[in-house]
Copies of this chain bind each other. A is one copy, B any other.
């Protein structure tokens, strides 16, 4: 930094006005006579003024920062969600400070401390790591997206409805037996709704079914090997039945599809598949995969609305905090492609 920054003081001196008047020019220009507005505008140009938001924040306390804690950007669901959040900048003007937590409790806590040190006005949490009770204890506006949310506001996909949609679609595709593969998610998380939806429909309509709760691994290779074993098992257990498989997400649905195609040369008539998320892979698979579409743009938009509401409330002279956390539910959209009838 060779030369010092141009400040309000410089502009004030140059225009023979005071610092407060310069401040007014930026915050409420119409309160100045046009003559002075022009004079200041001209001065800004000739002096080469650059605004300093840091000083402004320190003075008025409004950072316009929102913190985001996200598990990773490797999975399309998360990166697309962040994409949508970032795009709300045009509407709300909030800037995003993003941390990709490696889902370790103390690391994420450290991130939040850091975010608080920057006086973030609100926090959006996609990571499932920290319990909502703890998040609530920071006493700043928080919105959770698709995670445990007992004590904080949240926006979730209607997973139960999604489970029902997927299950019904497979049933109507004439499957003899329905199988849902998933990991053993706790019933406090939104994703558990998919399992419940599956079971409720099967029981209600007396459909033969099987629930396979198992860890499918973290890499494509692991996924492939474990799902391959499941396919072998199903082929011996239900050789001639038409099997309707409800996969936990599109990535895994695609693995299943690839296995079947490599084994049978095509999608055999004894298999029907539904995925979850409507991520790009579901469309880009050899055979486009039917899936339950999460409405990511809507989820993001609603999250921002919920958060900005809380943040606005907080700026009032007499803020009334929410009595109860608000939970918004977004209905998923069933997308029929070629892996179902």
Contacts and interface: CB of A to CB of B under 8 A. Distances in A.
Interface in A281-323: 281, 283-286, 314
Interface stretch (A97-105, A163-171, A180-188, A204-212): A97-105
Q: How many copies does the complex hold?
A: 2
Contact of A255 (B74, B76, B82, B284): B284
Nearest to A72: B83
A86 B57 contact: no
A97 B96 contact: yes
Give the bracket for the number of chain A residues in contact with chain B: 35 or more
A114 B99 contact: no
B79 A251 contact: no
A251 B280 CA distance: 10
Per DSSP, chain A at the interface is: helix
Interface string A261-274: 11001100000000
A58 to B, nearest CB: 5
Given A86-B99, A117-B52, A284 B73 contact: no
Given A117-B53, A266-B265, A284-B255, A83 B87 contact: no
B1 A61 contact: yes
26 contacts: A51-B117, A54-B58, A54-B118, A58-B58, A72-B83, A73-B79, A73-B82, A74-B79, A76-B79, A79-B82, A79-B83, A86-B99, A86-B100, A87-B102, A89-B99, A95-B97, A96-B98, A97-B97, A220-B280, A251-B284, A254-B284, A255-B284, A257-B286, A258-B284, A261-B286, A285-B286
Interface of A: 1, 50-55, 57-58, 61, 63, 72-74, 76, 79-80, 82-83, 86-87, 89, 95-100, 102, 114, 116-119, 220, 251, 254-255, 257-258, 261-262, 265-266, 280-281, 283-286, 314
